[in-house]
Structure 1
Amino acid sequence: MNKEKIGNIQLFYIMVGYVLGTAIILGLGLEVKQDAWIFILIGTLGGMLLMTIYTQLSAFYPDDTLVQMIPKIIGKYLSYPIILLYIFHFTYSAARACRELGDLLASTILTETPLIVTIVSFMVLVIYCLRGGIEPFFRMGEVVFPVYIFALMLIWTLLLSVEGNDVKNLTPVLANGIKPVLKEAFPTALNFPFGETIVFMMFFPFLNSKKNIKKIGIVAVLFGGILLTVNSIMIMSVLGPEIYSQNIFSLLTATRMVTIADFLERFDVLVILMMVAGVFFKAGGFLFGAALGIAHLFNLKQTRSVTLGLGTIIISLSLISANSYVEHINIGFLFFVPYVHTFLQIIVPILLLCIAFIRKKFSLF
């Protein structure tokens, strides 16, 4: 596994696509309505800080993945429960991404297709790609990312043509002050989607050149955050704060309002294309991160069989995790994001960095 290498530009493409992932389709900052774009900007700044923590940890242990460095920082026996939690986190997050894709397709173009058929078909594609190793997955990013960005830019251009598009829908800015926005942003905006980039600590050791990891990571988070911010502004200008705050797939709803010369419409297929690409980045990254974690934990020399087994588990989890999409969202944003994400993506990395810093400092004397 260690002989596989990925390039810096490949890492950047996958990271940006990963940040956008499902977040660009789902409405972020629904509770703060017209201030959603500020909510996302706050999350972007926090995400850049988290990425600094992640990359600094990787700088202390450049040849180790997250799972490999934890025992070196806190000891062999204390590390086992933490490692298992990260593997669960990556596995369950992949299942959540697949469920979101399945529900989107079930509510749009595949209304008569059973959810299990959609999710299984998608996971077969992801597993087929990942069984070739880390290099094919990141090379796929080079192919998919330009298509993803082109579709996004085309959607934004089309949204400008919507008759009801009005930037005044973003006003009044901070009508209730900054406090409600900050309250919603911490820790939700930090954790989703920016904190989820912690999975890339599983991939940093495979880079051809590790000199620019911090720069690539921070720029990727910043670029992804800017795209999410602009996307939120575009959607809000079309839908208005009230519809935006009550809509599950806000970008899809806004795109369905596009009509050109009363002839060209139903551009929502572009949104579905983006969702498939975004979930490919996200589910693939989480799945391979979990597979690497299990391989390192049990000293396995390959991840193919692990990937296949995890794929089966992810399919099952995505189907049984919730009875409906509303329940799925509530579990995510009321429990998983504020508690599990906060612990594993913010608290644990900060503690690991502090301990690693002390270990490195005292080892010099």
Structure 2
Amino acid sequence: MKQQKISALQLFYVIAGFELGTTMLFGFGAEAKQDAWLVIVLGMLNGLILMGVFTQLSVYYPDDTFVSMIPKIMGKYLSYPLIMVYIFYFIYAAARGCRDLGELITTTILVDTPTVVVIGSFMVLMIYCLRGGIETFGRMGEMVFPIYIMSLIVIWILLFSIESFNLKNLTPVLGNGVKPILKEVYPGGINFPFGETFIIMMFFPFLNSKRNIRKIGMFVILVGGVLLAINSIIVLSVLGPEIYGKDFFPLLTATRMVSIADFLERFDVLIILMMVAGVFFKVGSWTFGASIAIYQLFKLNHSKSILLALGCIITPLSLLIATDFVEHLEIGLGYNYFLYFHVPLQIIVPIMLLCIAFIRKKFNPENSSV
């Protein structure tokens, strides 16, 4: 798999789709009410700083994934426990993405279908794609991401036709002060989804041109942040801040309000299409990251068997992580999950590694492995 390469555009499609993923469907920054879009903008600005950390690490170690650069920075014995934590994190994040898909599908269009059937079927297709290697995943990104964006644009156009659409729902700006916005941004608005893009470091070594590393990373954050902010503004204009904050899937609820001449209705299928495409990028990237991490940690000959094992782990884990969808969201969006998982693994550890790598490169360049 390491011999395969992807283009800069393919990597952009994959990671931008990963960043947008399921985030479009949820009420991002809901506690800030009409200022939710400001939460996204501030999160994006912080995300650009984080991406600067990620890309600089990859510039120091252009031929290494995030996992393979850790031993070169921290040493062999200190790195192993940390890598194991990241492998568990990748697997758990993939399971959460599968659960998101399963819950949405079974509560909207396949109400009598067991969740395990939906998730299991999706994972079979996901593993089949990943077994083709990074090039296959990149080519799938070229096909799926445009469909995702086209569906999103069509939905936005349809939402403009709703009678209740009113930009006054966004006023007063900063009506509740700055505190609710900052509370949403730190740490939640940074980690989800911008901090999660640290998975891009698992893909950088497979680029056919390393010169584009920084451009791709920054462009991913900018495009994702702008699209999320626009989506938040449009959905808030339709639903208002109160419904936006209480609904599990505000974009789905807003889309269900579309009715053209009392004839064209039920555009839910576009949301389902977006959800499947978004989870494809989300779960695919996490699963790919986990497989490469295991492959490099244990120095295995190939990773195809690893993908089969991961598929058998992620599917049941997605069902065991929560008893119902409400508990699933409470865990995933809870303060403790961000504090003990996202913040250390997405922010603290990469910054620490960059500081150590900088010192090693500056003061001991011949032994820095850079």
Q: TM-score, normalised by structure 1?
A: 0.99
Shift of 1:84: 0.7
CA deviations on 1:274-327 (whole Å, 9 max, x unpaired) are 000000000000001000000000001211100110111110110010011110
Distance in 1 (alpha carbons) for counterparts of 2:47 and 2:110: 35
Distance in 2 (alpha carbons) for counterparts of 1:85 and 1:106: 32
1:57 equivalent to 2:91? Answer no
Distance in 1 (alpha carbons) for counterparts of 2:194 and 2:61: 22
CA deviations on 1:214-266 (whole Å, 9 max, x unpaired) are 11110111101100000000100000000000000110000000000000000
Shift of 1:175: 1.1
Letter in 1 for 2:139: R
Aligned positions, number? 365
Identity of aligned residues (%): 62
Shift of 1:80: 0.9
**Matched ranges for 1:337-352 at <5 A:** 337-352=338-353
Secondary structure of the equivalent of 2:24? coil
1:35 equivalent to 2:35? Answer yes
**Matched ranges for 1:247-258 at <5 A:** 247-258=247-258
CA deviations on 1:86-133 (whole Å, 9 max, x unpaired) are 111111000000100110011100100000000001001100100111
Distance in 1 (alpha carbons) for counterparts of 2:222 and 2:268: 27
Distance in 2 (alpha carbons) for counterparts of 1:135 and 1:364: 34
Secondary structure of the equivalent of 1:285? helix
Q: Is the 8 A contact 1:63 1:205 kept in 2?
A: yes
Shift of 1:46: 1.0
Secondary structure of the equivalent of 1:200? helix
Task: Determine the structure 1 residue equivalent to 2:208.
Answer: 208
Letter in 1 for 2:162: V
Q: Is the 8 A contact 2:291 2:306 kept in 1?
A: yes
Distance in 2 (alpha carbons) for counterparts of 1:67 and 1:11: 18
Shift of 1:6: 0.6
Q: Is the 8 A contact 2:6 2:207 kept in 1?
A: yes
Letter in 1 for 2:346: Q
Secondary structure of the equivalent of 1:187? helix
Distance in 2 (alpha carbons) for counterparts of 1:364 and 1:131: 38
Question: Stretches of 4+ moved more than 4 A in 1?
Answer: none
Q: Is the 8 A contact 1:162 1:257 kept in 2?
A: yes
Letter in 2 for 1:336: Y
Q: Is the 8 A contact 1:102 1:118 kept in 2?
A: yes
Task: Determine the structure 1 residue equivalent to 2:68.
Answer: 68
Q: Is the 8 A contact 1:26 1:248 kept in 2?
A: yes
Shift of 1:172: 1.1
Letter in 2 for 1:120: G
Q: Is the 8 A contact 2:148 2:274 kept in 1?
A: yes
Q: Is the 8 A contact 1:91 1:290 kept in 2?
A: yes
- C-alpha root-mean-square deviation of aligned residues, in Å? 0.9
**Matched ranges for 1:1-365 at <5 A:** 1-334=1-334, 335-364=336-365
Secondary structure of the equivalent of 2:23? coil
Shift of 1:74: 0.6
Secondary structure of the equivalent of 2:361? helix
Q: Is the 8 A contact 2:31 2:180 kept in 1?
A: no
Q: Is the 8 A contact 1:15 1:221 kept in 2?
A: no
Distance in 2 (alpha carbons) for counterparts of 1:75 and 1:327: 39
Structure 1 unaligned spans of 5+? none
Structure 2 unaligned spans of 5+? none
Shift of 1:199: 1.1
Secondary structure of the equivalent of 1:24? helix
Letter in 2 for 1:284: G
Letter in 2 for 1:352: L
Distance in 2 (alpha carbons) for counterparts of 1:87 and 1:351: 19
Letter in 1 for 2:282: K
CA deviations on 1:130-168 (whole Å, 9 max, x unpaired) are 011111001100011111111000000000000100000
Q: Is the 8 A contact 1:39 1:189 kept in 2?
A: yes
Secondary structure of the equivalent of 2:209? coil
Distance in 2 (alpha carbons) for counterparts of 1:176 and 1:31: 10
Distance in 2 (alpha carbons) for counterparts of 1:233 and 1:211: 35
Question: Which shows bigger deviation, 278-287 or 326-335?
Answer: 326-335
Q: Is the 8 A contact 2:34 2:170 kept in 1?
A: yes
Distance in 2 (alpha carbons) for counterparts of 1:70 and 1:310: 22
Shift of 1:270: 0.1
Secondary structure of the equivalent of 1:33? helix
Secondary structure of the equivalent of 2:25? coil
Q: TM-score, normalised by structure 2?
A: 0.97
Q: Is the 8 A contact 2:19 2:194 kept in 1?
A: yes
Question: Which shows bigger deviation, 337-346 or 236-245?
Answer: 337-346
Shift of 1:364: 3.9
Shift of 1:336: 2.1
